[in-house]
Amino acid sequence: MRILVTGASGFVGGVTADLLSAAGHQVTALVRDATARTRLSRVIEVVQADLLEPRQLAAAGVSRGFDGVCHLAALTRVRESRETPLRYFAANVTGTTNLLAALDAGTRATGVAPRFVFGSSCAVYGDTGTSPIPETRAPAPTNPYGASKLAAEQAVAYQAATGRLGAVVLRSFNVAGAVGSHADRDSSRIIPAALGVATGRRDAFRVNGDGASIREYVHVVDMARAYLTALRATVPGRCTVYNVGSGLGVSVTDVLRTVESVTGRDVPRVTLPPVPEPRALIADSRRIRADLGWTSPSSTIEKIVADAWRSTAVPEPVAARRGDVPIVS
């Protein structure tokens, strides 16, 4: 298939683009940052455009008529979204509708209804109070990021209802790890932040509360495989939602202990007051496993941390600037 991958300069998008290419698909990577070319397979076509600029999308050939699309371009930081909500709605909602409009122009010209896989998030559920969370749980996002993802999901579903699109929505639960040249460099997330302390780039890890909050982590390779699997399952006129999670709950304290075990280095902590957020976020992923046969063999916290550590430049620990510490729950 001819497949467009948006957000291919990002962590999950880059792994997904490379995996699709390795599986024999003709991949076009849509990026804003031209330097992403160096991190992707050489056989991947790289085009540059901003999803907020319809003319750039047209110039990049988005309307040429792709068989499949994996839409991963997004802003993804929950706390940042509270400070700049309009920026998040523009990127995640307007960017998605602009992409859908460009693809629809291609569908009308070629008659090809593309297979569309949208990367969403567990943030759409909000604080459910219970885990694991099934797809049947009514979404109730508690931050602009989750609300923007839910609005984009709805746009995708309504477009699929026209019959000019077949869609699958993948709601991910904390993607982590590394493969090849692709690693998570976002130090606002717990594992990169903890590894930053282990390398000495940071002097301590800030824990909000008691460290008992439970999350689950999906290895980036398993997440990319979910996109490949979902592309095959789309049906024109339908939009299906799947959770993508390991089902293995891990506390913040457990993550930090694993980082210490894998790296052989201490991760000093600084304890801060708790912040309002769910105590547990674990996916009920039985639907994607039953319907699509997806599995997550790489998604143990030990393998995720070990692969992320191998991708990290590891100098001898040095004293970091005082106060230069990540804030991660």
Active site residues: 145
* Six-digit token string for 296: 């997550």
The residues pairing with 121 across neighbouring beta strands, listed in sequence order, are 172
Cβ 166 vs Cβ 240: under 8 Å: no
The bridge status of strand 205-208 relative to strand 269-272 is parallel
Nearest CA to 179 among 120, 119, 223?
Answer: 223
State the Cα–Cα distance between residues 203 and 251, nearest whole angstrom: 21
State the Cα–Cα distance between residues 210 and 224, nearest whole angstrom: 33
Cβ 264 vs Cβ 306: under 8 Å: no
* Six-digit token string for 134: 């099934």
State the Cα–Cα distance between residues 41 and 21, nearest whole angstrom: 8
State the Cα–Cα distance between residues 202 and 317, nearest whole angstrom: 9
The sign of the CA dihedral 115, 237, 76, 53 is positive
